[in-house]
Structures are given as structure tokens and as C-alpha cells.
Amino acid sequence: MAAIEISGVSKRFGDVTALQNLDLTVEEGEVFGFLGPNGAGKSTTIDILLDHVRPTVGSAQVFGHDTQAASVPVRERTGVLPEGYGALGRMTGRTHLEFALQAKRAEGDPQAILDRVGIAEAGDRRVEDYSKGMKQRLMLGMALAGDPDLLILDEPTTGLDPNGARRMRQIVQAEADRGTTVFFSSHILEQVEAVCDRVGILNQGELVAVDTIDGLREAAGATGQLHVTMSSIPDGLVETIEQRGGVTSVAVEGTTLAVGCENAAKGAIVADCYEAGTVENVETSETSLEDLFVSYTGGEN
């Protein structure tokens, strides 16, 4: 049984179409990255899963429960870190967690959750005095309360510093190891790339790609980059490399050669460099998720 199953969902707000015939399946235990430009329909999709918004056409199921007919069972098994949750009240962090545990009718130790998200000492302080990062950690803690089977995280790293972002990633990984399904919506592609098994890219209400990141790379036909730094670049080397098969571009930046090429061509290119002069360093890079994102969503540039 799939954790999330969205079939033929369309949503219109007046004249505006937010989602257009969306089909998406997220398997149980998977960490799924949900990407898209602002306004692509990501928030609407999440709202439909939580029955905050009803689809115009189509249906969505979470663990086999219909999100509209069985919204309560869905939410009992789901932990949510919403985006833009607004001002939090005067209660302490601990009270918030107790409240979240009660709402899920779950046993649990608020202090253990506070420890886990890294605000153990702040449990008895009022939440309105928390920094943005601490609020975000608390919201993550509330999402984790009651050990949900599905975690929906919407821009979870907002306001977190790199230490906080890393801890969040570790928690996601630990949850995934425990079998929790994680639905991870974010603009911070380095975080998505680090934790997600598969990603889906939404653009103007339509799902334009669903695959692993490597799968997306292959589908986009993207080539890798090879950077060879030499003590000096001998005459004729650039021409030699340009004539090799699988090479798409050669550029010289100082004493570094930047070569766009297929993976299989890398060895031969490096051999060429070794024969022609002194090689100081070799680095490779792959097409970044950002480049893939932009190519799928037709970025403005």
C-alpha cells in the first residue's frame, strides 16, 4: 500500500488553476522530495493531503484512507511541519509538545522530543521568546510527536543554521530508517539532494518529473564536468581534447581546463593531460539538482 496516492487531482480557485490532473504515488518508507517554483501548487497539494483544501476533481489517499472521508485517521498517522505557521503563543515549548501529544492521543516524553530537536534547555521558556531557528525546531518536534507514519515537512530548514539543518537531516534519516515515510517540500536543493530517495518537480500545477536525482540527470542527458588543473596548459592540448568523442565543451580558466563530457570520456581526457604536461589536480562535478530543476521548470534565464 502506498503512503500517498494522488489520482487525477485538479484544483481551481476561481479562475486560477493550482493543480492540473496530478497523479503521484509515494511508497511507504520513502523520503520523497517535492520541488517546484513558487506558485507551482506545492502548498495546495499538501493542503489537500491534510484536507485543508478539497480537490475540484480527483481524490487523494494517505495509507489507503481517503483524505476527505477519513481526514481524522489520516491526520492521526501524520506529523506536519507546516510553512508560515505564524505567531506562536505564550505557552512554553514543553506545553506545546504536551498539547501535540494529547492531540495525537499518544504517549511520549516531551523532554525526549526537546532533546531530539536540540532545544532541551529551552523547554520551559515561552515560545514567543524563541528565535526563528528554535521555533522551527519546536515545530519539527511537534511533527514528530506520537511517532507518525508519515511526516510532511514544508520548508523545514527555514531559519535553521547549518548545524540545525544537519540535525534536521539526521532526524529525517532516522525516521526513514524506522520506516516512516517523509514528504519533504523545499527550495533548498542541497538539503533535498542529501536526504531524498526520489524527487518530484511540480511546475504550473503539473508534475513534470518524478525520479531519483541520478535518473533525472540521465533523462535530461546532462553531461558531467571535469576540471583539470595543470602547472601550465601546453599548446595544442585544448584542440586534442576537443577532437575526442563525448566531449561537449572545453574552456580554459587560468591554468584549469573545464571540460564538459560524458562519463566514459573522462579517463582518456585525463590521460591526454598527463601526456602533455604536469597535472596538479583533477576534480569532477555532476549537473546540480538546481540546474536540473531549472531545466525542468523553464527558469527565467
Partner 1 sequence: MAAIELNGLTKRFGESVTALRGVDLRVNEGEVFGFLGPNGAGKSTTINILLDFVRPTSGTARVLGLDAQHDSQEVRRRTGVLPEGYKVYDRLTARHHLEFVIESKETNDDPEAVLERVGLADAIDRKAGDFSKGMKQRLTLGMALVGDPDLLILDEPSTGLDPSGVQDVRQIVKEEASNGTTVFFSSHILSQVEAVCDRVGILRDGELVAVDTVDGLRDAAGTQATLRVVADGVTDGAIDAVQSLSGVSSVTFSDGVLTASVDDGAKMDVVTTLEDHGASVSDFETEEASLEELFMAYTGGGQ
In angstroms, what is the minimal distance from the CB of 188 to partner 1?
6
Q: Which of 8, 13, 23, 39 binds partner 1 (CB under 8 A)?
A: 39
User: How far is 73 from 113, CA to CA, in rounded Å?
Assistant: 23
Q: Which of 266, 269, 272, 287 binds partner 1 (CB under 8 A)?
A: 266
The closest of 153, 144, 50 to 104, measured between CA atoms, is: 144
CA 85 to chain centre: 19
* 183, β-bridge pairs: 32, 152
Residue 47-66 contact track with partner 1, rule CB under 8 A, x = bound? --------------------
Q: Which region among 47-55, 72-80, 252-260, 283-291 touches partner 1 (by CB under 8 A)?
A: 283-291
257 phi and psi angles, rounded to 5 deg: -95, 125
In angstroms, what is the minimal distance from the CB of 6 to partner 1?
21
Q: Which of 17, 36, 87, 219 binds partner 1 (CB under 8 A)?
A: 36
User: How far is 114 from 121, CA to CA, in rounded Å?
Assistant: 8
Q: Does 160 help bind partner 1 (rule: CB under 8 A)? A: yes
Q: What DSSP string describes 117-143?
A: HT-GGGTTSBGGGS-HHHHHHHHHHHH
Residue 175-214 contact track with partner 1, rule CB under 8 A, x = bound? ------------xxxx------------------------
Residue 99-128 contact track with partner 1, rule CB under 8 A, x = bound? ------------------------------
Q: Which three cell numbers stand for residue 103?
A: 492531540
For 96, what's the count of Cα atoms within 13 Å in the CB-facing half-sphere? 26
Q: Which region among 20-28, 46-54, 71-79, 156-164 touches partner 1 (by CB under 8 A)?
A: 156-164
CA 54 to chain centre: 25
Q: Which of 12, 116, 167, 198 binds partner 1 (CB under 8 A)?
A: 167
Closest CB to partner 1 among residues 258, 279: 279
In angstroms, what is the minimal distance from the CB of 122 to partner 1?
12
H-type alpha helices, the chain: 42-49, 71-76, 93-103, 110-117, 132-144, 162-177, 189-195, 213-219, 237-242, 266-276, 289-297
Nearest 5°: the CA angle 209, 206, 1 is: 70
Q: Does 93 help bind partner 1 (rule: CB under 8 A)? A: no
Pairing of strands 150-154, 78-81: parallel
Q: Does 282 help bind partner 1 (rule: CB under 8 A)? A: yes
Q: Does 301 help bind partner 1 (rule: CB under 8 A)? A: yes
Q: Does 87 help bind partner 1 (rule: CB under 8 A)? A: no
Residue 217-256 contact track with partner 1, rule CB under 8 A, x = bound? -------x--------------------------------
CB 272 within 8 A of CB 237: yes
Positions that interact with partner 1 (CB under 8 A): 35-39, 84, 131-133, 157-158, 160-167, 187-190, 224, 263-264, 266-267, 270, 274, 279-284, 286, 290, 293-294, 297, 299-301
